[in-house]
Structure 1
Amino acid sequence: MSATATTQVFPSFAQVYQGLAGQIGMLREMAPQPTKSDEQRLKGAVDTLIEDTNADEAVWLESCIHCGQCTTACHYFQSMQDAKYAPMRKMDLYRRVYQREISPMRWWHRLVSKPVKLSDFEEAKELIYDSCTECGRCTMVCPMGIDTASLVHHMRSAMVAAELVPPELAALRMEQKHQGTVFGSSPDKLKEMIDTIREQAGVEIPLDKASAEVMVLSSAVDLVANGNGLLATAKIMNHLGVDWTICSDGFESANFGLLSGDMTLWKQQADPIVAAAQRVKAKTVVIAECGHAYPALRWNPMLRSGELPFEMMYMSEFLGKQAKSGKLRLKPLEQRVTFHDPCKTGRRGGAFDEPRAVLKAMDADLVEMPNNKEYNWCCGGGAGIFLLQDATELRDESFKIKIREVNETGAESVVVSCASCRLNFESGRQKNHWDKRVESLVELTAAHLIDDDESAAATSAQGAAQ
């Protein structure tokens, strides 16, 4: 049974992908142009790296022994077999800035190396954005423990200062920064979607309750493209009898501050969510199926000053905990499936058991990929790369690794719990005429809920049999 077969209220995800792809195609025309002089842009980039470099970054920049182990773990290098995509190469420019500006031997490096130019940052743009999803797989195999993903993120912050953000991310960054929306996903759009779900599907979604134990986040993908995600979430929360709400002043999971490297915007998007959760006295905040929102909210560096009075939990974690407790009652899933672990919630977050607990509650025939859990290959579309036209070839070639891995399982469907992963899988499925279905974990769960009548019938049948 397909998750999308349970309702006709919204289009299929294949149609959603086509519509969203059209909107993404228009982003390049909306991108802002540089406003500063080249000298100001270069100084801003260098100053940003200097400010971001603490003890951890300095150790990582000093420690690389150029062993090449990281290349075995990088999906872009493995798919392209081009040395320039080796993860260690992504640190080269950052290391030059560090060596010349703040390293203990900077006096020597200034004698033997050339000054950094704006053109160096322009040349590094492909490595920092197009060819790194910040998945963290290279860190797992690095004998020196270098966190390349964190260094890449600092480089993205420098690119923001240099006004070198790719046009697609730049357009969405500016929309979110100045309008507070992503693809127009405003509070009005949220209310409109909730009204549609109530009227056409008969499912209630509590909006802006004064207090609630659980506050649920949505995303732009739900509001402007795929209403099935929000509908499925509502069905599950109501099925569980959860005291929950969505807040119109703190609902957007997507954070283009994180994706672009704009730390100010990162905080600007996180603060209203925290404030809304505190206002309604939520004990749990559930992040929508939006992979990058997990680190943007759960480990937001702007929140380190104090302990949050609520638990921040990803959707798959929440569902898994409910399944393990026996509260989530699900019908059998009559197909063989495999599960794709999103990099941000899996390898970098450790949420492996929970989504599998949900599939176990469905008695699913789950077959793991050859590389799974912390060793799972990235799908190639994370960290905003799914949006980037210039990254198309890299993204498409690296996705073939996932095709091979899924095919080895013999599964009919691959289950994902991240909207970016799902979009990238759907893109790869259509481009390669792949015969696998791509299912959202939350939509699959909603499609297999056991209602009260079914539960009573099952109990009666069991009693009769005894």
Structure 2
Amino acid sequence: MSTANTTAATATPIFPSFEQVYQGLAGQIGMLREMAPQPTKSDEKRLQGAVETLIEETNADEAVWLESCIHCGQCTNACHYFQATGEAKYAPMRKMDLYRRVYQREISPMRWWHRLITQPVKLSDFEQAKELIYDSCSECGRCTMVCPMGIDTASLVHHMRSAMVAAELVPPELAALRMEQKQMGTVFGSSPDSLRKMVETIREKAGIEVPLDKEQAEVMVLSSAVDLVANGNGLLATAKIMNHLGVDWTICSDGFESANFGLLSGDMSLWKKQVDPIIAAAQRVQAKILVIAECGHAYPALRWNPMLSSGGLPFEMMYMSEFLGKQAKAGNLHLTPFDGKVTFHDPCKTGRRGGAFDEPRAVLAAMDADLVEMPANKEYNWCCGGGAGIFLLEDATRLRDESFKIKIREVNESGAESVVVSCASCRLNFESGRQKNHWDKQVHSLVELVADHLIEDESTANAQARGAVA
């Protein structure tokens, strides 16, 4: 068990435990299939849209990747879905077969030849590929890391997801949330009004100030639907930490939602629609740093957005674990010790694909945690199996559950008593796996763990000493 400060240990909880949060959210997820939109176009138009999308999104990089596979099979050793099932169809290289056929027949230098020896692509081909593109690829990038040809399978899968949007073949759960976010700008009903109510609750019941909609601030923080409709502890913890640091910060009601179902589904227009208000809000308040909430896919949605001119933005983007790590390294986080052996699960998007390995570990070091690494850690870390929206998909349940057993084995072999994660999707998948397998490990959110270990009586001194982000 961890040793938190006395106030946090004795105070009556304001929000439900994460186990309760998971159970409530699982119920909401179960209703998504009934809310999914039905196809509106003819089969011919759906097929045409899918093919045209792939042609439009195929540039030099994609062409080289599609031409380069030597079928060595190295990617199978890296894929958690293949390793968990042993089923050949889940080999990463096979997930590109349909994309490769479209490329070869439509735009490759030898297209005249391929049109003679291969059958035209059909809508049924895309329907059959749906499981490979959504259910069995979390776009974790582990296969890319070991590919001798440097093929970025995750990027190719994302292009295929864009084609699936055009073909109206998005899985029902993602389709329902994509429709909600596109039409109403909400996720699970989270809205600016939800944010205001959550802020009021934190102010009234916890006595913690949450600066909402400041005209100017050095740091702008994002939240997420999981925080606003289920787990208020995330925003509460963030507020405690920011106030402890004496940071000049705000959260904006017109640009707060980290979740981006444009990215997850493959809808490029929605991806941009969700990002634009966030960028506009950060520029309006003249932020120097934009802190992305513990939401793994939000990291690439903002940090590597192809529709943004990131070099020209007047602020720096950081994931929450990066921000906390920099504060820890600067000596600004004053934390009580954490008792017991703990291991850290690196989210694929911020770790392997983002390189943010040292920062979360610096935070754990700041609380003198006995950190033990899993056998495969950092860039070799195994995906939890629930990323890229897979946690939401009923059809992916078997694959998700089987692949999570790899994480159970890895954590058990480390000797850790608990696991720290810094991604809401990972945390939900860990909680699901913990309950289904009657696993005895505790799972902590990094930001909530830090908030529980703040040395409260130093917060005022810290604020007076710094007054701004170090």
| TM-score (normalizing by structure 2) | 0.96
Offset of residue 306 of structure 1: 5.2
Question: Which of residues 412, 415, 424 is equivalent to 1:410?
Answer: 415
* Partner in structure 1 of residue 273 of structure 2: 268
Pair 1:192-2:192 in alignment? no
Residue-by-residue CA offset, 1:209-244 (whole Å, 9 max, x unaligned):
000000000000000000000000000000000000
Maintained 8 Å contact 2:244/2:460: no
Secondary structure of 2:51's partner?
helix
1:424 maps to which residue?
A: 429
| 1:304, distance to aligned residue in structure 2 (A) | 2.7
Q: How does 1:285-324 map to 2 (within 5 A)?
A: 285-304=290-309, 307-324=312-329
**Per the alignment, in what secondary structure is the counterpart of residue 303 of structure 1?**
coil
Deviation of the 1:305 alpha carbon: 7.2
More divergent stretch after superposition (5-14 vs 95-104): 5-14
Give unmatched runs, 5+ long, in structure 1: 457-466
Q: What 5-or-longer segments of structure 2 have no aligned partner?
A: 462-470
Aligned partner of 1:335: which letter?
G
Q: Which residue of 1 aligns with 2:179?
A: 174
Q: What amino acid is the match of 2:329?
A: K
Equivalent position to 1:135, from 134, 137, 140: 140
SS at match of 1:138: helix
The residue matched to 2:312 in structure 1 has which SS? coil
Question: Which of 92, 111, 114 is equivalent to 1:106?
Answer: 111
Distance in structure 2 (CA, Å) of the matches to 1:86 and 1:326: 45
2:309, 2:61 → 1: CA distance? 17
- Give distance in 2, aligned partners of 1:216 and 1:205: 11
* Offset, 1:70: 0.2
Partner of 1:443: 448
Query: Are residues 1:394 and 2:399 paired?
Result: yes
CA–CA distance in structure 1, aligned partners of residues 411 and 317 of structure 2? 31
2:188 maps to: 183
Q: What is the Cα deviation at residue 455 of structure 1?
A: 10
Letter in 1 for 2:46: R
Tell me the secondary structure at the aligned position of residue 302 of structure 1.
Answer: coil
SS at match of 1:301: coil
Structure 1 position 410, deviation (Å)? 1.2
Q: 1: distance between equivalents of 2:174 and 2:90? A: 21
Amino acid at match of 1:266: W
Structure 1 residue 451: deviation in Å? Answer: 1.7
Do the aligned residues in 1 keep the contact of 2:243 with 2:459 (CA within 8 Å)?
no
* Alignment partner, residue 367 of structure 1: 372
Residue of structure 1 aligned with 2:241, choices 218, 236, 259: 236
Please list, as runs of the form range in 1=range in 2, the aligned pairs for 1:2-401 lying within 5 A after superposition: 8-304=13-309, 307-401=312-406
Q: Residues 403 and 45 (structure 1 numbering): CA distance in 2 closer, same or farther, change over 3 Å?
A: same
Number of residue pairs the alignment of both structures matches = 456
How far is the alpha carbon of 1:307 from its aligned partner?
Answer: 1.3
Q: Is the alpha carbon distance of 1:199 and 1:383 closer, same or farther for their aligned partners in structure 2, counting shifts above 3 Å?
A: same
CA RMSD of aligned residues (A): 1.2
Higher mean Cα deviation, 77-86 or 4-13? 4-13
User: CA, structure 1 residues 338+306, in 2 after alignment: closer, same or farther (shift >3 Å)?
Assistant: closer
What CA deviation, in whole Å up to 9, does each residue of 1:69-119 have, x standing for no partner?
000000000000000000000000000000000000000000000000000
- What SS does the corresponding residue of 2:433 show, helix, strand or coil? helix
Instruction: Tell me how far apart the structure 1 counterparts of residues 310 and 134 of structure 2 sit (CA, whole Å).
Output: 30
Which residue of structure 1 lines up, in the alignment, with residue 468 of structure 2?
none
What is the rounded CA distance, in whole Å, between the counterparts of 2:215 and 2:460 in structure 1? 33
- Summarize deviations over 1:338-360 as a string: whole Å, max 9, x none: 00000000000000000000000
**Residue deviations 1:242-278 (CA, integer Å, cap 9, x gap):** 0000000000000000000000000000000000000
Structure 1 position 335, deviation (Å): 1.5
Query: 1:147–1:454: structure 2 CA closer, same or farther, 3 Å change rule?
Result: closer
Residue type of the alignment partner of 1:237: M
SS in structure 1 opposite 2:307? helix
Within 2, Cα distance between the matches of 1:292 and 1:103? Answer: 32
Any idea what SS the aligned residue of 1:351 has? coil
Distance 2:447 2:114 in 1: 53
Equivalent pair of 2:335/2:367 in contact (CA under 8 Å) = yes
Rate the CA distance shift 1:272–1:7 in 2: closer, same or farther, 3 A.
Answer: farther
